[in-house]
Chains A and B, each alone.
Chain A
Amino acid sequence: MADHVSNERRRQAIYGWILLSPAAILLATFAFYPSLATLWSSLFSRGTRRRPSEFVGGENYSDLFADPVFWKVVTNNLIYAGATIPISIAIALGMALWANSKLPARGFIRTAYFTPTVLPMIAAANLWLFFYTPGLGVLDQIGGLFGLPSVNWLGQPETALWAVIIVTIWKEAGFFMIFYLAALQTIPEDLKEAADIEGASRWTYTRRIVLPLLMPTTLFIAVNALINSVKLIDHLFILTKGGPNDASKLILYYIWEMAFAFFDAPHAAAMTILVLVVLGVVAAVKFTILDKRTHYQ
């Protein structure tokens, strides 16, 4: 009997590993090995024809820390995250509350909110280019009606980053709305009835009952929005190319530029490692603290 049990256990183990092997091989090849290889190559100098690449320890990192463009890009990305995360979450929540209540033309409203989600970021950037172009663009034309001067939204350092931020918010708010809508539909009707009987206003009901129940969703969305603030950079390629004067350059774009425009892989690797460390901290916080405090699976 005991023999039979251990046989079964061994069989399960073999099946388990066979089933997992495609995923394990792919993850090793395209996630774990590249992460380690990035760490490794960030410790070497960039090889040129005359001077082969050699071990330099933390030099690439100290170069980055001494590079004003790096700090500019980090600051930009912090502003990008600090603006896109709360604003898109707030808009998404408003959209979901509206799309879930019995307003006229609800179908149209839902579709309008969600549509940007299915567009490629590159296409979205093209659409917005039409808004931002100085002189001819929609924004300038509207401004012109009120006698405002023409503004080069994408071409001046004060506004370029914000123009990029607006496109990101436009793109992701509708996507986050979906998660809120899903959560709203799981809130039992009795709660609303009970609140009505108690004479609570709609505002009180929303603030005291709906918002706390949406907390796990908000955290889930916040983590997604945070990841997006690293990931969503495609529109830079169309709108500003990080300019003018690095005013709208974000970290991932800078990594791309470093590696594939300046062919400086070691510094790109060092920057990648710094991003991975930050993402690792976010992951650790999410899995240890947040998942314990909000009890969803």
Chain B
Amino acid sequence: MSRLSRHFEALGALLLAVIWISPLVFAFWAAFHSTSDAVNFNLTSPWTLDNFRTAWEGAPWLRYFLNTFVLVTVILIGQFVVTTLAGFAFAQVRFPGRDVLFILVLMQLFILPEVLIVENYAMVSRLGLFDSILGVGMPYMASAFGIFLMRQAFKGVPIELHEAARVEGCGWFGILWRVYVPLARPTYLAYALVSVSTHWNNFLWPLIVTNSPDTRPLTVGLSIFGAPENGVDISVISAATMMTVAPLLIAFLVFQRQFVQAFLRAGIK
């Protein structure tokens, strides 16, 4: 009886997995077949790269890839600098007003940048950053999530190491750079993976702040490319979609272990 239920469970788990992966598999299959073959599910039909050729010529994808790459890099560097300094201050430095400030930072977890689009758009325009990659990235640099993560990581560093470095004559920044940052390396890796995959996929804010192919990231480019008024057919859209998700998807499949570990570590226990 128990064996039977075990088999049922294995079947259920597998069935769910197949359902879950099927949208991706269908799009993959459609991307490599002509539209009529794709919609007729003609399984014996020949494979083709025509859709990729059409899609590639339909938009400045290379530029979009570059923009997205620059965007996630800029955000990541900004986040590392800002959250390292702030996380260290909250974890190891005692000063008046610290707890009040920390509560303010935690509040930002709920004041979503996405919700403040109207005023943030006005702010970015005022700073002269409209239609620039920095303008897309800036609102995300002081991430409350990152500050919280770094604070937790730095709190776990044994105070003896801190003291030892101080006795050796290290200043505050020296201690931070030589003791805390190296010890928090796994946290940085985890945070980097979460941040990159979040911002590679971000859409609404870049849609608002960018206005030209020179700054537009992949997601915005893809949405414009696939807009119904452009009349692109389903196989070509599938090809374009596959193209844009490929780098992250391949990275994920290759480094799956690290990815999952990263998300686990980042998922505040």
Chain A residues near B (Cβ < 8 Å) = 9, 12-13, 15-17, 19-20, 22-24, 26-27, 29-35, 37-38, 41, 91, 94-95, 98-99, 101, 103-105, 108-124, 126-131, 133, 136, 138, 141, 170, 174-175, 178-179, 181-182, 186, 202, 220, 227, 230-231, 233-234, 237-238, 252, 255-256, 259-260, 265, 268-269, 272, 275-276, 279-280, 282-283, 287, 296-297
Contact = CB atoms under 8 A, between A and B. Distances in A.
Contact of B118 (A117, A170, A181, A255): A255
Contact of A23 (B12, B24, B82): B82
Contacts of B21: 112, 115
B65 interface: no
Given A119-B249, A131-B23, A170-B20, A27 B222 contact: no
Given A23-B83, A108-B17, A116-B20, A121 B203 contact: yes
Interface of B: 2, 9-10, 12-14, 16-18, 20-21, 23-24, 26-27, 30, 39, 41, 81-83, 85-86, 88-90, 93-96, 98, 101, 104-123, 138-139, 141-142, 144, 147, 152, 172, 197, 200-204, 207-208, 218-219, 222-223, 226, 234, 237-238, 240-241, 244-245, 248-249, 252-253, 256, 259-260, 263-264, 267-269
A130 B16 contact: no
Nearest to A98: B13
A120 B245 contact: yes
Given A31-B116, A118-B245, A237-B223, 8 more contacts: A23-B105, A30-B139, A38-B118, A41-B119, A103-B14, A127-B27, A220-B268, A283-B110
3 smallest CB-CB distances across A and B, nearest first, come from A16-B95, A26-B142, A34-B119
B219 A256 contact: no
A122 B27 contact: no
Given A31-B111, A38-B119, A255-B117, A109 B17 contact: yes
Secondary structure call for the B interface? helix
A115 B249 contact: yes
5 contacts: A24-B101, A30-B116, A95-B16, A115-B249, A136-B234
A26 B108 CA distance: 11
A275 B112 CA distance: 10
A22 B84 CA distance: 11
Nearest to A202: B2
Contacts of B139: 26, 30-31
Contact of B93 (A19, A23, A252): A19
